[in-house]
Amino acid sequence: MKVIRLEEIDSTNTYAKTHMENLEDKTVIHALRQTKGRGRFNRTWIDLGSDNLFISIVLKPDKKYSNILPNITQYACVVLCRILEKYGVNPKIKWPNDVMIDGTRKISGILSETVIQSGEIEGIIIGIGVNLNSNIENVKAIPDRIATSLNIEIGKSVDMDSFLQEFLTEFFDSYDKFLNLGFNYIKKEYLSKNCFLRKDLKVQVLNEVKCGYARDITNEGELILEQSNKEDLVLTIGDIL
């Protein structure tokens, strides 16, 4: 693993995309400040200050693993939960990859992007933002969601470098196991930490809102929504509203 440290950048994901050709497998881009952080569905990821985490992990796995690439964000969010638990909080997963404290307050977001070159996958970027140190006013000002940060939850400041080190060690220690076993490696843990199953949900899927009862997760990490006509709808992407 190699870490590239940047003082300030528009977005670590954009940096990784721009330099993808020259970046090795398992390169981590870590920025202290982000001026144009990006979230899922064209949202912005607000910079809460330089003691928060903004990283992008560049992965270039062998082609034989291409069927499990969509699950890497779910793997990353399970790893993040493991680390957050060590800090004494109760992280829960909102499908597909949001980490919520007690299931209600968003502490982290993951944006994965695939870079295609001449019709082939050149690499994937797992962009992770974790609110580690903020004040209540700044997290309250985040639009569209109830957010929190780790220092608010545990009542003391968090050492960003230690958190990053713990996260990356855990991520890469189990990465080969994940590549070989896919979603099945994390399914039990993912389900045990979920905060969305057995609930009536509205899910934004592209330009439509799908409604249904969240019945289960498939072996590929997809969400099974039972609709009012009792038919199952299997979602591979979406945003639970």
Task: Assess 134 for contact with ligand BTN (CB under 6 A).
Answer: no
Binding residues for ligand BTN, rule CB under 6 A, total 18
Beta-carbon contacts of residue 91 (< 8 Å; ≥ 6 apart): 80, 81, 84, 85, 99, 100, 101, 107, 193
Could you tell me the CA-to-CA distances from 55 to 2, 58, 62, 80 in Å, in that order? 12, 10, 22, 13
100 binds ligand BTN (CB under 6 A): no
Considering only residues 29-58, where is the footprint of ligand BTN by CB under 6 A?
A: 37-40, 43, 45, 54-56
Residue environment code for 61-85, b if the CB has 16+ CB neighbours within 10 A, otherwise e? beeeeeebbbbbbbbbbbbbbbbbe
Shortest separation between residue 183's beta carbon and ligand BTN, angstroms: 20
Cβ closer to ligand BTN: 107 or 233? 107
Residue among 99 and 186 whose Cβ is closer to ligand BTN: 99
Q: Is 109 in the site for ligand BTN (CB under 6 A)?
A: yes
CB 147 within 8 A of CB 131: yes
> Quick check: 111 binds ligand BTN (CB under 6 A)?
yes
Q: Which is nearer to ligand BTN, 113 or 216 (CB)?
A: 113
Strand 239-240's sheet: what is its strand order? 232-235, 223-226, 208-217, 200-205, 239-240
Closest distance of CB 56 from ligand BTN, Å: 5
Instruction: Return residues touching ligand BTN (CB under 6 A).
Output: 11-13, 37-40, 43, 45, 54-56, 109-111, 127-129
